[in-house]
Chain A
């Protein structure tokens, strides 16, 4: 058990420190790297409590896909321009501070509720309608619950994601004029007769190509 708790404290310490570093570090790319470290240590914590499926999905989805997109966006931004904006002369009057305060206030109250709920944890666990058996692997038990009791919620969330995806494509899609597209069928089915065109070129006039 000692080793278990040592590992727990190591991972949670890394998680907390890197979460702080996400907000503190001045270089935005470093922030994203710390965010990735945070995700990884949290998925390690998931694995330590036996939720190996959740831990792995956390790694695959957040670290493998979402954080890569974050990193893309942040790298594309002009980082040098943003460096030390809080302290720079181009102070924007602090218009973002009220919203930031509101969000952090909400998060603070949510944390209080979560920590307050800790007291009633045994009652909450007993009131669960799903019986958690340690015999089957947790991948199987998640599947059993997700595809039976919560199938409608599962499908609705899938539909929402689909709509969001199509919406994002529609919003960013722009038809550009003059784009030459490659058509494999056209290329392959081209014959010699249509590919080569013999033209009598007139003197001092030339031939108009691509007409």
Chain B
């Protein structure tokens, strides 16, 4: 019995060691997002609270905590309350498999990439539940839009993952990183990296694909009826998901914790820092896209997902596998 408790304590300790930095960095990343957005548009952005406005997100969080939570009388109360909880939980549990260094991972499971994919495909439920339970027109329309959008773009992300897996021969995320020791996959699979980036924008409902919460048409989409801490939880979950997509992109294409070239001053920097640099790099790209590109029309969004990305990434699967077969480079023989 004693050993069970010690296992429990070490695991809880490890989970806290992972989740607390993730939550803090989510708060920081919101600030960074607003800051980058402001700089692109020649504004200053949040710069009042703390040095450079760094504590803006914490102040916002404090405000949300003390606000009243309003539950609409005609809503389905249980589902309404559960929706933000589901969003947030799903956004956080996927961090368990992200490797921050060699052997520096909470759960080194064999099917790590499938786990990530499965959890991100569950993410749509938080939005559908929120939209349906609000029992109001705008949230419902937003939820339906977002569900269709996320399901569509998951398909192309799945095919892109197959491309990477063909080059690795394993579903384990640490193996995927180790396979990139000589060459990051962003070089041979560059078109796939671009498509992954755009699909990740659509999957996380970021601009230019933020149709679910298009404020001009749907007020705030599925979040319309939410207030106070429940709104903040949706928001935290959303940003945790964005960070996760950046982490996934860096693990799949940018060599995870590996340094760009294996020479002294670069490889002396510990692995986790490299991963964080790469995540930040991808996130700043996300923020720049938000600041520059106008919103897509819904039919264009669907056309892009199904008629352009899916056939192209399928074609690339054929190309990659024939290349590997022809030059006898197939892994895992």
Contact = CB atoms under 8 A, between A and B. Distances in A.
Contacts of B122: 59, 63-64
Interface in A21-64: 27, 29-30, 33, 36, 52-53, 56-57, 59-60, 63-64
B79 A60 contact: no
Interface in B103-136: 109-111, 114-115, 117-118, 121-122, 124-125, 128-129, 132
A133 to B, nearest CB: 15
A113 interface: no
A65 interface: yes
Interface string B119-162: 00110110011001000000010001001000100100010000
Interface string B150-180: 0100100010000000000011000000000
Nearest to B125: A36
B133 to A, nearest CB: 9
B4 A3 contact: yes
A72 B4 contact: no
A157 interface: no
A65 B4 CA distance: 37
B124 A60 contact: no
Given A3-B4, A33-B79, A65 B114 contact: no
Given A59-B121, A64-B154, A52 B128 contact: no
B109 A52 contact: yes
A139 B147 contact: no
Interface residues of B, number: 28
Secondary structure at the B interface, as helix, strand, loop or mixed, is helix
A141 B332 CA distance: 13
Secondary structure at the A interface, as helix, strand, loop or mixed, is helix
Nearest to B158: A60
Size class of the A contact interface (CB-based, 8 Å): 20 to 34
Nearest to A138: B110
Contact of B121 (A65, A72, A140, A182): A65
A19 interface: no
Nearest to A75: B132
Contacts of A137: 110-111, 170-171
A68 B151 contact: yes
B308 to A, nearest CB: 11
Interface of A: 2-3, 27, 29-30, 33, 36, 52-53, 56-57, 59-60, 63-65, 68, 71-72, 75, 137-140, 182
Interface of B: 4, 76, 79, 109-111, 114-115, 117-118, 121-122, 124-125, 128-129, 132, 140, 144, 147, 151, 154, 158, 170-171, 299-300, 332
Given A64-B121, A68-B125, A72-B147, 6 more contacts: A36-B125, A56-B115, A60-B118, A64-B154, A139-B110, A140-B332
